Structure 1
Amino acid sequence: MPCTRGDVNSKTLLSPIVKQFSHNCHVSFYHTPDLRWPLNRLLPHRYNELIGLQHMKFYLIDNCVIITGANLSGDYFTSRQDRYMIIQDHKPLSDFFDDLSRVLCKISFQLTPDGKFILDKEFPLSPVSVTQRGEYLKRSRSLVLDMYDGYRTRNTTAVSPALSSTQPPDTWLAPLIELPPLHIQLDSRVTKLILSLARDGSCVSLGTGYFNLTQEYVRAMLDKPRVNYSVLMAHPTANGFLGARGAAGGIPYAYTALAARFLSRVSNLKVAMFEYVRSGWTYHAKGLWYSESPGSKPVLTLIGSPNFGKWSRILFCIYYLR
């Protein structure tokens, strides 16, 4: 399990809590079904996440939801620039994230009070089993889509009266999910749609700590040469991988090289690129903002954990806010 890497890890941190508060504490560990034998035996532990990982970051307290790209490690509270949005007193949205969390926990490994990993009693299929792979993917996809479609149906029914009102809502919010191993890619489809429908003279701003746009996004931008684009990314000195041991230490400069290659490819577009630099700080914020004209306030934004990159085997959750 990737969470057991090193002497101090997620399992060693959470096991005492589960043991002491087993009556009201539940901990699950997602494992991508793409990391199975023989890859899980051949790949070094630190490179496991190249195959896939759980990247959703949302925090739910009663009817309040915080969605962000931030983890809960110490530097996010002290010296790591990130982005957070709080939606308060919104029961339908809170219920959605509660249901999403429950479904993802069900298809994951469960941490027991004695520090072992077991399967959920109601979902006894292992994501790493070669023989159960097909059934695991089929049933997992069905559980997630049933949950999502149920929310969408209930929400559509609830907002229908508002659509015909003389004073319709001025803000729309929609949660999107991205689970590539289960062939669920709502976030990337909506992101591509936004880029494809951007009007001439409008502005699209992207923020990402790790700049490596997918070819689909680049092609969508190339098809809109009259749109103004701006990109904010981490300077090598503000990249979280700076100073890492081994090959990982070169990652910050690799992203700068990718940005330079991107600029040369889109030389006919109006693109402004910026690098975040702040002494002692790293940059991890991500998102998309759409404005109807230069200098005007955004009318649409995406907030969540995606980096808009080619790392396509990750689980994401994102807000579409308009």
Structure 2
Amino acid sequence: MATGGILIETRAVLTGVGAPCVRRCYAGVSGKPKSVTHSCRTFTASAQACLPKAPQLAQPTSTWNPIRGKVRSSYGVTRVPKDSFSKRIAHKLSLPRFKARSGDVRILQTPAAFYDEVRAIIGRAEERIYFSSLYIGKGETELIDCIRQALRKKPYLKVLLLADALRSTREGPLTEANGKINGSGASLLAALVRDFPHQVDVRLYRTPGLPVWLEKVIGKRLVEGAGLQHMKIYGGDDEVIISGANLSNDYFTNRQDRYVHVQRHRLLSNYLHSLVLLTSRFSYNLKASAAASSSLTHHAPYDLHWDDGSDLLLSEDEDGNVTEEASLSIAPKKSKEYAFAETAGVALREFTDRWRIHTEAAKKRRAQDERADDEVDTFIVPVIQMGPMAIRQETDAMPLLFEAIEQQEAPIQETLPAAVKKGRLPAPRATIDFTSGYFSLYPLYKSLILKAPTSIRTRIITAAPISNGFFGSKGISRHLPPAYTWLESKFWDAVKREGKKKSIEIREWERDGWTYHSKGVWHTSSTQSAPTLTLIGSSNFGSRSALRDLECTLLIETAPSSSLSRSLKKEIDALREHATVPVNTELFRREDRKVHWGVKLATELIKGRL
């Protein structure tokens, strides 16, 4: 499957629907539906699997309500409250808020499902593909071949790939010796640009103000701590996946992350495509070197050019559409190669205001269609965090979220019956589930968790040292797992000092042969049994995410009876299934958890970059 694969098109007439439903799936080289195993990954290429399934009726959920002393059913609660969390946060921060149907929002559970769906998006795309990732693995020739095939079949298809410059060029220039290629993510993408110059844009972001000499003195790997392009957005046409996963083999096989797939939503897809386009205007244009030959199929020498985005193939127009002719996303003034932070910040704030107006206009249009509005049971608020450009939507939104949850729970606590107040019956508590593969919580988030009332239970999942992606690595990065252990132990000490051991729980995720990279937040109110709100995206919720990296997260709120709420419960339950190591004082006394004093000192010095 290094180069092959065709699209199989199947048609089925649904009961009660006159027009045929067309679905596409990616099949093997022979064109026959089959299951193909490749590079330690398996994907189903069955045409039958692409046929629409029979609609599933929403099942009622119920929970014991100590206040009423009876079971309260959430069946029929099909709408998000008018004064919802997403509405309050979007209003206070002037952010765009998108309406959606829960049936169009899927939670993917596994790396294999993520890989399959990324390939499927490529195969289904007719107009555009836009991917934003920290990096694309230098060995991901199969994924690139999938894009190549789509480009050959569809000459009007346009592809935009955004990655980080430091991470994508870490291996250095392309070399070939004794038949062995020393390539990089950049050289892999350069060959794609070489072969499809009129269809493919590749942009590499480099954090502003980072001097070239520093990279040469301490090396690219260490200088990456200054900041990276970290958004994980994988879109095509009217669908998009938001995740924390990059595009490389371990993220497709045995590195657990989170993935949300939003389908049939052109407005949201236009927003995210426009965001990637805008970021690309402050990034280098990657081109194959003029002397690059085509002797190597998958790699080519490359050059990086600063062009202010003037050579981008697509752009956003004044109505929020992405076209070849529009030029709205061009920066208001020429940006400097190493000092574009202020210009980019202005452009990003204008972008947010512009899209808030677009979503409000879409809301007014939908209000005229009562049937369409009745189907809405989910809202999506994109939250951007770009510290170098002074864009702080995530760090502004998180305190508002905690405040709203406390305000929601306060009336419940005030009306508790005497039996509950005296401890004879358990009190209802809201639950905030919080996870990050790297335990380096931003100080503001630590404070919010520690100061939350005891009526809110916080459950934290983080990676055990052996499940940390840096465990057993070479060089200085091998010290990162104990560094995170040190930060975790300090937070546990703070939990004890605040007397919150009963309301804050920390567990470590551990699964044989796997690493843990999930990040996000789930909220379940005290009157529900499943989450109705989640934050999902690229942010690790640490100081680096808050201050240095480019992050994109979706705040998604859904109705209690929706299929999405049940999917969110299934997701957090699956993650907690492997969160089997309870964090307590005894854990940090174990010999294998002892942290060298040098690591402690270094961690305190660089914790703002973790």
TM-score clears 0.5: yes
Match of 1:34 among 205, 209, 216: 209
After TM superposition, give the deviation of residue 202 of structure 1 in Å.
Answer: 1.3
The answer for the alignment partner of 2:400 in structure 1 is 193
The answer for the alignment partner of 1:45 in structure 2 is 220
Q: Is the 8 A contact 1:214 1:308 kept in 2?
A: yes
Distance in structure 2 (CA, Å) of the matches to 1:17 and 1:239: 32
After TM superposition, give the deviation of residue 304 of structure 1 in Å.
Answer: 0.0
Match of 1:284 among 517, 540, 545: 517
After TM superposition, give the deviation of residue 138 of structure 1 in Å.
Answer: 2.5
Task: Classify 1:259/1:141 alpha carbon distance in 2 versus 1 (closer, same or farther; 3 Å).
Answer: same
Question: Is 1:145 aligned to 2:349, yes or no?
Answer: yes
Q: Is the 8 A contact 1:119 1:125 kept in 2?
A: no
Distance in structure 1 (CA, Å) of the matches to 2:265 and 2:248: 27
Structure 2, unmatched stretches of 5+, are 1-164, 172-181, 290-301, 311-330, 410-428, 558-610
| Bigger RCO of structures 1 and 2 (CA < 8 A, at least 6 apart) | 1
After TM superposition, give the deviation of residue 40 of structure 1 in Å.
Answer: 3.4
Question: Is 1:223 aligned to 2:451, yes or no?
Answer: yes
After TM superposition, give the deviation of residue 37 of structure 1 in Å.
Answer: 5.0
Distance in structure 2 (CA, Å) of the matches to 1:137 and 1:276: 37
Question: Is 1:296 aligned to 2:296, yes or no?
Answer: no
Match of 1:183 among 390, 400, 405: 390
**Aligned with 2:247: secondary structure?**
coil
Q: Is the 8 A contact 1:207 1:233 kept in 2?
A: yes
After TM superposition, give the deviation of residue 54 of structure 1 in Å.
Answer: 0.4
Equivalent position amino acid for 2:345 in 1: R
Q: Is the 8 A contact 1:196 1:220 kept in 2?
A: no
The answer for the alignment partner of 1:236 in structure 2 is 465
Report the TM-score, using the length of structure 2 for normalisation: 0.50
Match of 1:70 among 223, 245, 259: 245
The answer for the alignment partner of 1:83 in structure 2 is 258
Question: Is 1:273 aligned to 2:506, yes or no?
Answer: yes
Question: Is 1:158 aligned to 2:386, yes or no?
Answer: no
Distance in structure 2 (CA, Å) of the matches to 1:20 and 1:310: 40
Task: Classify 1:243/1:225 alpha carbon distance in 2 versus 1 (closer, same or farther; 3 Å).
Answer: same
**Residues 205-250 of structure 1 deviation map (CA, whole Å, 9 limit, x = unaligned):** 1111001111111112222131100011111111100111122112
Q: Is the 8 A contact 1:233 1:274 kept in 2?
A: yes
Distance in structure 2 (CA, Å) of the matches to 1:160 and 1:216: 37
User: What is the percentage of aligned positions where both structures have the same residue?
Assistant: 33
Distance in structure 2 (CA, Å) of the matches to 1:203 and 1:29: 39
**Residues 145-175 of structure 1 deviation map (CA, whole Å, 9 limit, x = unaligned):** 2222111111022224667979583211111
Match of 2:305 among 118, 138, 153: 118
Q: Is the 8 A contact 1:32 1:181 kept in 2?
A: yes
Distance in structure 1 (CA, Å) of the matches to 2:402 and 2:361: 29
**Residues 92-142 of structure 1 deviation map (CA, whole Å, 9 limit, x = unaligned):** 0000011111111111000123221111253653442xxxx2xx2222122
Distance in structure 1 (CA, Å) of the matches to 2:479 and 2:528: 36
**Residues 168-216 of structure 1 deviation map (CA, whole Å, 9 limit, x = unaligned):** 8321111111111000010121123212333253111111100111111
Distance in structure 2 (CA, Å) of the matches to 1:298 and 1:101: 30
Distance in structure 2 (CA, Å) of the matches to 1:266 and 1:157: 46
Report the TM-score, using the length of structure 1 for normalisation: 0.92
Distance in structure 1 (CA, Å) of the matches to 2:533 and 2:209: 34
Task: Classify 1:273/1:98 alpha carbon distance in 2 versus 1 (closer, same or farther; 3 Å).
Answer: same
Match of 1:255 among 478, 481, 484: 484
Equivalent position amino acid for 2:548 in 1: R
Q: Is the 8 A contact 1:81 1:285 kept in 2?
A: yes
After TM superposition, give the deviation of residue 295 of structure 1 in Å.
Answer: 7.1
Distance in structure 1 (CA, Å) of the matches to 2:391 and 2:240: 23
After TM superposition, give the deviation of residue 257 of structure 1 in Å.
Answer: 2.2
Distance in structure 2 (CA, Å) of the matches to 1:37 and 1:60: 32
The answer for the alignment partner of 2:169 in structure 1 is 4
The answer for the alignment partner of 2:440 in structure 1 is 212
The answer for the alignment partner of 2:56 in structure 1 is none
**Aligned with 1:112: secondary structure?**
strand
Distance in structure 2 (CA, Å) of the matches to 1:32 and 1:60: 24
Distance in structure 1 (CA, Å) of the matches to 2:271 and 2:531: 26
**Aligned with 2:201: secondary structure?**
coil
**Residues 228-278 of structure 1 deviation map (CA, whole Å, 9 limit, x = unaligned):** 000111111111001111221121122122112111102222111111111
The answer for the alignment partner of 2:20 in structure 1 is none
Distance in structure 1 (CA, Å) of the matches to 2:507 and 2:214: 37
**Aligned with 2:508: secondary structure?**
strand
Distance in structure 1 (CA, Å) of the matches to 2:170 and 2:534: 36
Distance in structure 2 (CA, Å) of the matches to 1:33 and 1:25: 25
**After TM superposition, what 4+ stretches of structure 1 lie above 4 angstroms from structure 2?**
160-168
Q: Is the 8 A contact 1:210 1:233 kept in 2?
A: yes
**Aligned with 1:173: secondary structure?**
strand
After TM superposition, give the deviation of residue 91 of structure 1 in Å.
Answer: 0.6
**Aligned with 1:207: secondary structure?**
strand
Question: Is 1:202 aligned to 2:430, yes or no?
Answer: yes
Q: Is the 8 A contact 1:34 1:181 kept in 2?
A: no
